[in-house]
Structure 1
């Protein structure tokens, strides 16, 4: 490099050895998250273009049904409903109401996400979620349900009465509590069913690509600074 030579010292070299893989790794991680979210969006968009499922005719597996539009008719089981705990809306704690809809002409049912309701001030009280009788005809989108973070302990809390408060979705445990077969997914209706981007997805892939660019830029800056501070002017001896 002409009159300059690269003479790295110990501590800057150790700092680069430690920090550079971390910065590059964080950039790669953000790219992977972007790819995962894009795959989810692509799957939902493709499923939205597929023919709607008639669940009264056939109850497909989750792999087939996931993100698909679906129609169903039957009666809500007003006596056996689930309240998904720790669901926050606009800073207010509450529950998601999950009500089994017993399919007309069969002994099967599917959970219907009836939306969010605020929790009463006292923990030992539950909200009024009566849904009434009568046949219902619903259309919506098949999903695996709201995210609840870590799953610690049993799904159920409380004394086992109805409505039953649950910490997270465990379709097998919920099905065991019911006298009929329960589908391993739920039906989202209303505005949630129209969203291509899942409600739990705070932002899409583009934000992750931006974060990845920042991490790679920091890695590049680290290398440039490292090279710059370790360049020394060559001493020419006559």
Structure 2
């Protein structure tokens, strides 16, 4: 039986399928861009130290570079989940440091502890480490519908004082690249929508 395609519904479905295919192709393009970015990060890790960036956003050329900063004073501490250099989970303590009379200061991922409520003894000083951005405090929905602040630069300290464990050093390989799976999902949705539409038409026309 030859299917008769109703004009308006067919146009709507065709546009939806074309949109999903376009989104899949876009995700494939994003996959290539992310692979190039991860390669840049990996190259950055082997380059000489640079000056710690004063303000956000952190440029791609600065990510995963070694740097040094002078924390004049720890203004406050925050703790988030994290891992130490041996892969053990714990609470990562981040110091909000004063670096001058004015300015935004700097964030230092200083060490890992087993409790979220301790008061680290470190009061400040010179810090050697790796530049990344602060951990995200926002969920997927907030990032989609809200205007969130640009993540501040943060240095992950190479060493800590007694009583804490060193934070796991940032690894460019940990940067997620899920764009291929997203592309395949969009292509699957497009194929599924087309098949469902054709089956619905066949059933309707067979029923007369």
Normalised to the residue count of structure 2, the TM-score between the two structures is 0.57
The yes-or-no answer on 1:63 pairing with 2:36 is no
Structure 2 gap ranges (5+): 84-88, 158-165, 203-208
Q: Is the 8 A contact 2:67 2:129 kept in 1?
A: yes
CA distance, structure 2, for counterparts of residue 14 and residue 64 of structure 1: 43
> Which of the residues 113, 125, 129 maps onto 1:140?
129
CA gap of 1:6–1:94, structure 2 versus 1, over 3 A, is same
CA distance, structure 2, for counterparts of residue 20 and residue 212 of structure 1: 13
CA gap of 1:116–1:25, structure 2 versus 1, over 3 A, is farther
Shift of 1:187: 0.6
CA-based RMSD of the aligned residues comes to: 4.6
1:38 paired residue number? 35
1:186 paired residue number? 154
CA distance, structure 1, for counterparts of residue 149 and residue 77 of structure 2: 10
> Which of the residues 128, 132, 150 maps onto 2:118?
128
Superposition pairs of residues 1-40 of structure 1, within 5 angstroms: 5=2, 7-9=4-6, 13=10, 16-17=13-14, 19-28=16-25, 30-31=27-28, 33-40=30-37
Identify, as 1 or 2, the structure richer in strand.
1
CA distance, structure 2, for counterparts of residue 187 and residue 223 of structure 1: 50
CA distance, structure 1, for counterparts of residue 32 and residue 60 of structure 2: 22
Normalised to the residue count of structure 1, the TM-score between the two structures is 0.52
> Which of the residues 81, 84, 92 maps onto 2:76?
81
CA distance, structure 1, for counterparts of residue 111 and residue 64 of structure 2: 19
CA gap of 1:197–1:98, structure 2 versus 1, over 3 A, is farther
CA distance, structure 2, for counterparts of residue 18 and residue 219 of structure 1: 10
CA gap of 1:130–1:116, structure 2 versus 1, over 3 A, is closer
The yes-or-no answer on 1:216 pairing with 2:187 is yes
Shift of 1:229: 7.2
CA distance, structure 1, for counterparts of residue 149 and residue 92 of structure 2: 13
2:172 paired residue number? 196
Shift of 1:142: 1.0
CA distance, structure 2, for counterparts of residue 28 and residue 130 of structure 1: 49
Q: Is the 8 A contact 1:76 1:131 kept in 2?
A: no
2:206 paired residue number? none
CA gap of 1:73–1:211, structure 2 versus 1, over 3 A, is closer
